[in-house]
Structures are given as structure tokens and as C-alpha cells.
Amino acid sequence: MENQTVILTGLSNREFLERHAQPGRVGLCGGATGVDIAIRRAQRHLHEAGRWSDWSHAFLFEGLRADGQHWVIESDLQFHRKNIQLGVQENRAEKYFDEKTFPMLAVLDFGLSEVQVATLLREGLELVANRERYSIRELVGTLIALKKPELRARENLWARERSVYCSAFVKQLFHHAGMDLVPGVAGKNTTPEDLARSPVPHVTYRLQRETAPGKVAGLKKKIQRHVRAGLRKIKR
């Protein structure tokens, strides 16, 4: 099977996910928050023309549960009132229904067998139970490797035990199922863009929205403001 991309338009995030979310499939999103924008920008080193990646986060679809909702397993940072979740966790897929926060979505179908899907879910839930942490430190190590491609195949310079960020989490799960989604790149140097470009045969279902020219210019300015604000905070 060759890689295929299926572009879908005219759907809400909810309609798109409810149509294509299946156990064992990989989800990609491009978020609009400052953190998401920074991650997308950092991946420009993977593109010859320096184009930003569309993707800032990756997760695994778990399937429908008894509540009639699609659930995902992911390594993420979530801040709720009086509740902070940092690491591998289960969440309803409805968190990605917000089209302003998540304007870009894709689902990757690697055509897995039932045994492979069961392996992914088992290993993912094991990390949830063990409270595997989210690693901002490893993200920094990945950024260093993006700037110095010769480091990409080596272990993350800032790797630590019992911690993993989103796309590294997905690659790790597939490794347990006997698949290397991004050959030649160390697990903890894997980015969402790497998963999107995986040479392993798969079908990509991508939700595409039409944006008016004026909105494109406005979005570009908004992104630039977020980046400048982020850089100022880092310098402080």
C-alpha cells in the first residue's frame, strides 16, 4: 500500500473525528495557542524552505467507550481549575472539537491488525497507570536535534526516565507493536511532523478549511505576535 492523502472539507471537527476516529489510528492537530505555535515553528528545520509544520500535537485513538464517546490516549499538558495533568492520560476526543483552538486536524490509518491495535492500547494504558510524565526538558533536547540534524538519530541529549512527550509517546507505542514509524530518528527526537511524513504505508485523512485572504493575513500577524511574546518571556 502506498501513502495516500484524503482531503475532506465542509466538516466540523466533531463530524471529522466521529467519522475517522478508530482504535489504533493516530491523531494530529495544529493548535492555535502560543505553545502550539512555538512547536509548529520549531519544526521548520524539517522543511527545505523553512515552512512551519501544520502539526503541534499527536495522540492515539482508543475507540468508543461505554459513555458513547471516542477517547484518546496521549501525553499532554492540561491545566484545569484546581487540577493539573502532566503526562500520559486518557481524554475524550471531544477536547478537539473546538475549531478555534484546533483549526487543523488529521487522522493517520496504518491499517493495523487487531493484535497490533490491542498491543498499542495495552502499552498506552500501562503508561497511564504508571503516571508517565510529560517532558518539557526532552522537548528542548528535540529542538536542539532539529537544529543539528546529525543528532536526530542519537538519544535525546536531555532524555530522562519515565517521561515522554506526545509524538515520542506515539512512536514508542508503535515500537511495541513491531513498527518503526520514523526510521533513522531516535524515539525521543520524534516530532508530530515526522509522524505526518512517516514512510510506513498509511492513509492520511486531513480536514481542510477554506480561509479568506484577509483572514490568512490576520492569522499570520497573530502568530507573529505570539512568537514575539514567547521570545520576550524566554529572555526574561
Q: Where do the domains of the chain lie?
A: 4-230
pLDDT at res. 234: 44
pLDDT at res. 81: 55
pLDDT at res. 85: 64
pLDDT at res. 86: 78
pLDDT at res. 136: 85
What are the beta bridge partners of residue 113? none
pLDDT at res. 162: 87
What distances in angstroms separate CA 4 from CA 23, 30, 112, 190, 196, one per listed residue? Answer: 19, 20, 16, 21, 11
How far is it, in rounded angstroms, from Cα 37 to Cα 19? 27
pLDDT at res. 54: 97
Whole-prediction pTM: 0.86
pLDDT at res. 77: 81
Summarize pLDDT for 77-126 with one digit per residue, the tens: 865 555 566 799 999 999 999 999 999 999 999 999 999 999 999 999 99
How far is it, in rounded angstroms, from Cα 223 to Cα 205? 25
Q: Count H helices and E strands in the chain, helices first.
A: 7, 7
Spell out, as residue ranges, where the chain has pLDDT lower than 50.
Answer: 212-217, 219, 227, 230-231, 233-234
pLDDT at res. 231: 47
What class is the 4-230 domain?
alpha beta
pLDDT at res. 160: 86
How far is it, in rounded angstroms, from Cα 190 to Cα 172? 10
Alpha-helix runs per DSSP H in 81-212: 114-129, 136-147, 166-176, 192-196
What are the beta bridge partners of residue 80? 83
